[in-house]
């Protein structure tokens, strides 16, 4: 099929390891790429772990970076101008913007100035990274009403994520769509042989394994997780904490673990391309995030049949199975530790059928996205 007939959507998402990127790539793998394909807009001019994967599917990586400019106000303006230039030079008409906050409005305006005709804004968050930054929060409140002026369609990964990003008029009039964070369900079906193999390779065959997956950032609340684990280790010295992910606070968290005297009981694994196997090795999955839209890792953990302990700041929409607990971040770390210890020895629950019924099959997600974009571009 010729390029003129192929429909293309520019997706705003980093090509690193992460939930949003994984979902977009998994959607791309399942759509008819002769009819519809994705390109990716990134804001940092660096080699990223998943870019070769999208190149192999016929994608372009478009860069609008201003990292070379140190003065922040100038860097902000320069990035907007580069977004405009990239969109204009590549004749971008359709933009799928995966957004964390209403600050995305500025970048969308720049894309519009570069010739973009149709914009879907897709909310993946339900809170601010820096809760103390009152100026940013105030600015975002002012930007919310502008979203309908620059966007054509409104998506959220959950009701809570949609409510966080979108203006009240859009929410009240139900003008938005909740697109579930679909996953490849069959990959996560629990297999005891894989569990034994992975646990042996990690040297945790006889340990109580607590797992967490997430970028090392303020949002994920690793500092509190370390405090929880310190209490668990004091109760059960065979307990092990495995942390999957990378991020800007990794070295800080390693230092905190060392200060607490628990660094030798923590495995800082880094990023994994086989998380489905890693969940099988765990005994419980813990996520004390300050906020989440709807965490893909929470869905994946339940698909593996794991008992999960979430912070009550995370939307209850993630609670698909009977394996989840929600605890307040105002509770003492010792209470969290007690609840996590209660998960020790719990049997796995086969939740795949229920997750599919609830709309978390990536095949269904991809079908919806494909139909949507083929329709709106015709």
pLDDT on residue 135:
74
Stated pTM of the model: 0.88
Can you tell me the mean pLDDT for 271-284?
95
Q: Which helix (H) or strand (E) holds 147?
A: helix 147-150
pLDDT on residue 130:
58
User: d(Cα 68, Cα 46) in Å, to the nearest integer?
Assistant: 12
Per-residue pLDDT tens over the stretch 141-188: 889 999 999 999 999 999 999 999 999 999 999 999 999 999 999 999
User: d(Cα 219, Cα 237) in Å, to the nearest integer?
Assistant: 28
DSSP for 33-77?
Answer: TTTEEEEEEESS-S--TTHHHHHTTT--EEE---TT--SHHHHHH
Residue 71: Cβ-neighbour burial (10 angstroms; 0-12, 13-18, 19+): exposed
Instruction: Write down the CATH number for the domain with range 7-182+361-377.
Output: 3.40.50.2000
Per-residue pLDDT tens over the stretch 99-109: 989 999 999 99
318 pLDDT higher than 60: yes
Do 359 and 350 meet the contact criterion of CB atoms below 8 Å apart? no
Q: Which fold has domain 185-357?
A: Rossmann fold (3.40.50)
Q: Are strands 61-63 and 153-156 parallel, antiparallel or unpaired?
A: unpaired
Q: Determine the length of the chain.
A: 378
Q: Pseudo-torsion of CA 311, 313, 314, 316, nearest 10°?
A: 100
Q: Do domains 7-182+361-377 and 185-357 have the same CATH topology?
A: yes
pLDDT on residue 87:
98
Determine which of 138-142, 207-211, 325-329 has the lowest per-residue pLDDT on average.
138-142
Rg, C-alpha atoms of the chain? 21
Per-residue pLDDT tens over the stretch 37-68: 999 999 999 999 899 999 999 999 999 999 99
Query: Pick from 204, 206, 265, 205: which is nearest to 231 by CA?
Result: 265
2 pLDDT higher than 80: no
314 pLDDT higher than 70: yes
pLDDT on residue 131:
55
Can you tell me the mean pLDDT for 109-122?
98
Domain ranges of the chain: 7-182+361-377, 185-357
Position 125 confidence tier, pLDDT thresholds 50, 70, 90: confident
Position 377 confidence tier, pLDDT thresholds 50, 70, 90: low
Do 215 and 18 meet the contact criterion of CB atoms below 8 Å apart? yes
């Amino acid at each position: 099929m010729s390029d003129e007939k192929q429909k293309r959507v520019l997706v705003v998402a980093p090509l690193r390891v992460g939930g949003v990127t994984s979902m977009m790539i998994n959607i791309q793998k399942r759509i008819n790429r002769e009819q519809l394909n994705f390109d990716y807009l990134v804001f940092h001019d660096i080699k990223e772990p998943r870019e070769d994967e999208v190149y192999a599917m016929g994608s372009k990586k478009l860069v609008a970076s201003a990292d070379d400019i140190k003065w922040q106000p100038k860097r902000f303006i320069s990035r907007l101008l580069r977004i405009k230039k990239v969109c204009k030079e590549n004749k971008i008409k359709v933009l799928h913007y995966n957004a964390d906050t209403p600050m995305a409005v500025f970048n969308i305006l720049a894309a519009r100035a570069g010739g973009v005709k149709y914009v879907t804004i897709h909310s993946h968050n339900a809170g601010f990274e820096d809760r103390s930054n009152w100026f940013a929060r105030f600015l975002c409140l002012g930007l919310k009403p502008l979203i309908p002026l620059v966007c054509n369609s409104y998506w959220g990964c959950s009701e809570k994520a949609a409510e966080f990003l979108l203006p009240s008029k859009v929410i009240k009039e139900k003008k938005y769509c909740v697109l579930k964070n679909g996953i490849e369900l069959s990959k996560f079906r629990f297999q005891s042989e894989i569990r034994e193999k992975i646990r042996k390779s990690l040297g945790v065959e006889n340990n109580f394994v607590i797992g967490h997956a997430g970028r090392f950032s303020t949002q994920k609340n690793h500092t509190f997780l370390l405090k929880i684990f310190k209490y668990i280790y004091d109760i059960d010295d065979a307990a092990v904490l495995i942390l999957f992910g990378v991020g800007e606070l990794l070295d800080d968290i390693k230092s905190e673990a060392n200060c607490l005297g628990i660094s030798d009981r923590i495995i800082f694994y880094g990023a994994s391309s086989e998380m489905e196997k890693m969940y099988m090795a765990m005994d419980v999955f813990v996520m004390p995030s300050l906020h989440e839209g709807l965490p893909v890792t929470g869905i994946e953990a339940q698909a593996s049949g794991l008992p999960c302990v979430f912070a009550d700041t995370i939307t209850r929409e993630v609670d698909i199975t009977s394996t989840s607990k929600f605890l307040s971040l105002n509770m003492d770390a010792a209470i969290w530790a007690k609840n996590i210890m209660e998960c020790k020895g719990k049997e796995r629950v086969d939740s795949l059928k229920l997750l599919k019924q609830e709309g978390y099959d990536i095949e269904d997600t991809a079908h919806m996205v494909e139909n949507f974009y083929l329709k709106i571009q015709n």
